[in-house]
Amino acid sequence: MTEKVALKVFEDKKVRTSWNDTEEKWYFSVVDVIGILTESVDVQSYWRKFKQRLKEEGNETVTNLHGLKMLAADGKMRLTDVADTEQLFRLIQSIPSPKAEPFKLWIAKVARERIDEIEDPEIGIERLMETYQKKGYSNEWINQRLKSIEVRKELTDEWDNRGVKKGQEYAILTDEISKAWSGFSVKDYKKFKDLKKENLRDNMTNLELVLNMLAEAATTEISKEKKPKNFQENKIIAKQGGTIAGNTRKEIEEKTGKKVVSKISAKNILPNKNKEIEQNG
């Protein structure tokens, strides 16, 4: 069962979701939905009591729920109750809330959009472009970002072929690539840019994106040729791919006299629409 975790936003409130490729359906974090509908100050406690009451009433929807590991507020992956679209509709009917109806419409829209994107992948690309444009990113940056998504997908597909496990092993290899080209682990890179939960790539300059793509593309190509047989071999290749981009970074810095890895991030650039993330650091 392949899961793709994502954040969706309803009225500025985040809902953790996971797309299941096998079942072709979304799963939504129940506590996130409960929090939006009830505005409870202790949503975990509310959900425990509510779930217990529904079980006592013989509610089959609750008994059929399952758990998925999702990123919690403390930054760790924790097991949380999730519901598919149909289950969520049934749960919402039991919660008195003025937001219930608009939330149902939002869920239906999220589900429909994903099906549309599967049938026509260009729709997903267009929606992503619109999202970045609304945030104020330049078209040049958006094109680089979309290309970086393609390059990353090719790398993770290669890792899948080599038996690399999603989650921790992905993270370790990504760190190796990042350290080799930028000098920073992903965590330290985000800290350098004063980011917390924000996406690092969404806060890279054009040049940072290009070098990150070079590092990942080089890693993919080396892996295809060397065909690593275990995680340690994949780790060595990740460092080799990152080093190629790292050497390029050093040459650029030597010629320009400026650092490539920049403190510039979207949050301190995009509020001013007259400025854009550019290549300078």
User: If you write DSSP's letter for every residue of 187-219 in order, what string do you get?
Assistant: HHHHHHTT-SSS-SGGG--HHHHHHHHHHHHHH
Least confident of 37-51, 208-222, 232-246: 37-51
CA gap 130, 135 in Å, rounded: 9
Q: State the DSSP H helix or E strand holding residue 259, giving kind and residue range, or none if neither.
A: none
- On whether residue 276 sits in a domain, the answer given is no
**Does residue 77 lie in a domain region?**
yes
Q: Is residue 109 domain-shared with residue 206, that is, in the same domain? A: no
Q: Which residues are 83's β-sheet partners?
A: 28
Give the sheet arrangement for strand 13-20, strand by strand: 3-10, 13-20, 25-29, 77-84, 66-71
Are residues 132 and 76 both part of a single domain?
no
Alpha helices (H) in 77-167, listed in sequence order? 85-93, 100-119, 121-135, 139-161
Non-local CB neighbours of 13 within 8 Å, separated by 6+ positions: 32, 35, 36
Q: Looking at residue 84, what DSSP letter applies?
A: E
93 plus 168 within the same structural domain: no
Last residue of a domain, one of 70, 89, 119: 119
Q: How far apart are CA 100 and CA 33, in angstroms?
A: 10
Higher-confidence position of 51 and 73? 51
Asked whether residue 42 is assigned to any structural domain, the reply reads yes
pLDDT band at 113 (very low <50, low <70, confident <90, very high): low
In a domain, 279, yes or no: no
In SS3 terms, 46-61 reads as HHHHHHHHHHHCCCHH
Residue 204 in 3-state DSSP? coil
Would the pLDDT of 2 be above 50?
A: no
Instruction: Please check whether residue 277 lies inside any domain of the structure.
Output: no
115 and 126 fall within a common domain: no
Nearest alpha-carbon partner for 210 in 125, 144, 143, 278 = 144
Least confident of 55-69, 124-138, 178-192, 197-211: 124-138
Range with the poorest average pLDDT among 29-38, 81-90, 122-131: 122-131
Q: Which of 101, 119, 137 is the last residue of a domain?
A: 119
Residue 87 has pLDDT above 80, yes or no: yes
Could you tell me if 109 and 162 lie in one domain? no
Distance CA 85, CA 254 (A): 54
- How many structural domains compose the chain? 2
Examine the domain organization and report whether 48 and 130 are in the same domain: no
49 assigned to some structural domain: yes
Q: Which residues contact 240 (CB under 8 A, 6 or more apart)?
A: 180, 218, 219, 222
Contact 226, 95 (CB under 8 A): no
Rounded to two decimals, what is the model's pTM? 0.58
Does residue 177 share a domain with residue 100? Answer: no
pLDDT at 281: 40
Residue 115 has pLDDT above 70, yes or no: no
Q: Please tell me the distance from the alpha carbon of residue 190 to that of residue 213, in angstroms, as a whole number.
A: 17
What does each C-alpha distance from 57 to 48, 51, 60, 63, 157 come to in angstroms?
14, 10, 9, 11, 46
Within-domain flag for 273? no
Are 90 and 169 found together in one domain? no
- List, for residues 120-136, the tens digit of each pLDDT value: 455 556 667 777 777 78
The owner of tokens 């519901």 is: 83
Query: 128, 88, 125: which is closest to 108 by C-alpha?
Result: 88
Q: Which amino acid is at 164?
A: V
The token duo for 250 is 């050093």
Q: Are residues 9 and 72 in the same domain?
A: yes
Q: What is the mean pLDDT of residues 95-119?
A: 69
Judgement on whether residues 167 and 75 belong to the same structural domain of the protein: no
Do 201 and 80 have their domain in common? Answer: no
Domain range spanning residue 156?
122-268
Give the residue from 119, 143, 176 where a domain finishes.
119
Instruction: Note whether 33 and 144 are same-domain residues.
Output: no
User: Which residues, 6 or more positions from 174, have their beta carbon under 8 angstroms from its beta carbon?
Assistant: 186, 238
Cβ atoms 127, 113 nearer than 8 A: yes
Lowest mean pLDDT among 21-25, 186-190, 230-234, 238-242: 21-25
